[in-house]
Amino acid sequence: MKIGGIIAEYNPFHNGHAFQLSQVKAECDAVVAVMSGSVVQRGSIAAYDKFMRARAAVLSGVDLVLELPCVYTLAPAELFAKGAVGVLDATKVVTDLYFGSECGDTYSLTRAAEIMLAEPPEVSARIKEYLRMGKGYKQATLEAYLGVIPAELVNLPNNLLGIEYIKSIIRSGSKIEPHALLRQFANHNDTSPSNGFASGNTIRDILDEKKDISAYVPPITYALYERAKPVDRKLYDAIVLYMLRLKGMKEFNRVFDASPDLVSRILRSIPDSTSVDDIITKSYSRQFSNARIRRAILSMLLEIDGELVNSAPQYLRVLAFNDKGREILNKIGKKSKLPIITKAADFKEPSPMFEAEVRATELSSVCRGVKRGIDFVTSPYYITEARYQITDFPKPPIPPHHTMKITPEEKAAARRAALKEQKKAQKKKKYKKKPAAKKKAAKPAENKAE
């Protein structure tokens, strides 16, 4: 059975994702997606909550959605890729990895990955030289490889991320086969929609302007998004500013990828800043990108340290699945060494990785005006065969942000379930064993002579 893996944020799931998914489904028997949870790699809270985004993905054709722990989501590209590939590989059932790229050339990306893993001596020397010139490590590394690897492979974001996926596969010895898919409609940095396609960045900008996104997302996902509670960006800014004013240098010491120079820039910017964007603008330099600064701030708030970022996946968290996904979960349960988590009670001992995830989800919930404890009361969405019929498995208390108008199909399903339970109760009552009756005393024989 060929099972394709996808690493995604689906923030939100849009027409470009639907097109990519159709390509993967054409080649595979099933699709498993590893999706970022409450926070995303650009260092911010996701546009919609993770359970809704996972639900949208399954309704759009993904068979099983697993959560990518936030300790990897907020890491640089290399460790983001390492964590995501690690989750897919830990399932022991995913056979292939599909990812979008600007070139769509798997061979060229694989060759680039092999060269970067070997790191020729002349490249090492250039990296050291560029670092002495004050350039950031990422920029120094990419510039050092120019002339060794074609510029378009290391200068374009999706190509570069694809190289990191392949490096992770090679480094770990995984048997997963990589496949680069040509990104055809809207590239990562495109700022304007075209023919019904728009990048995730563009769609999020449209959402921030409170404009309609229905032209750029599948109808079924749009129906979900309309009911969603958006993130209050001003509230998020207030939380970040308050926490940063309380924290000092020592609070950042544990944060991965937060150098003393970066931390000093952030702390110096705080007194005169009134928003996160102010902090980013004042802290930015050619060494520190906007995304890196955002990730450092969010990692500090969530208390994510370098030890967690560098650790291997500790569990497989299920967010949503359909009937085929349920079959895949059964196979994973037989082959994988990691526990499958569908509810918090599944943890037999404390998990620092999951505790960080809970903190991320609570921050997201506060900024949406949602009650606490979503990670503890929400079970994976189970999408049944009946069209768009959705049930919870097992059924949890439904948080306010997941409350939806009941469809006629759901009413009919609930009625059938109630009748079935009623029949069971009647049958049980009918065949209930009766107590043995007492024997009656024999009557005296009648005197026939009389």
Q: Which residue has the higher pLDDT, 105 or 372?
A: 105
The per-residue pLDDT of the chain, averaged, comes to 85
For the segment 79-108, the average pLDDT, to the nearest whole number, is 97
Q: Which residues contact 151 (CB under 8 A, 6 or more apart)?
A: none
Return the number of other C-beta atoms located less than 10 Å from residue 192's C-beta.
Answer: 8
Residues 78, 80, 84, 87: is their CA dihedral positive or negative?
Answer: positive
Residues of the chain with pLDDT > 70, as a percent, come to 83
User: Phi and psi (nearest 5°) for 449?
Assistant: -65, -30
Domains defined for the chain, CATH in brackets: 1-102+156-187+221-228+312-412 (3.40.50.620), 235-309 (no CATH)
Residue type, 21: L
State the pLDDT at residue 159.
Answer: 94
Q: How far apart are CA 221 and CA 213, in angstroms?
A: 11
State the pLDDT at residue 199.
Answer: 85
6: β partners = 33, 98
Q: How far apart are CA 221 and CA 224, in angstroms?
A: 5
CB 130 within 8 A of CB 144: yes
DSSP SS3 for 5: strand
Residue among 259, 243, 271, 268 at smallest CA distance from 296? 259
3-state secondary structure 166-201: HHHHHHHCCCCEEEEEECCCCCCCCCCCECCECCHH
69 alpha-carbon distance from chain centroid: 7
What are the tens digits of pLDDT across the range 206-237?
888 888 888 899 988 888 888 888 889 899 99
> Which has the minimum average pLDDT: 6-10, 129-133, 353-357?
129-133
In the chain the first and final C-alpha atoms are separated, in Å, by 92
State the pLDDT at residue 89.
Answer: 98
CB 369 within 8 A of CB 350: no
For the segment 68-83, the average pLDDT, to the nearest whole number, is 95
Helix (H) or strand (E) holding 26: helix 15-27
CB 139 within 8 A of CB 287: yes
State the pLDDT at residue 235.
Answer: 93
State the pLDDT at residue 343.
Answer: 85
Tell me the two tokens of residue 177. Answer: 């086969």
* 233: Cα within 13 Å, side-chain hemisphere: 13
State the pLDDT at residue 253.
Answer: 72
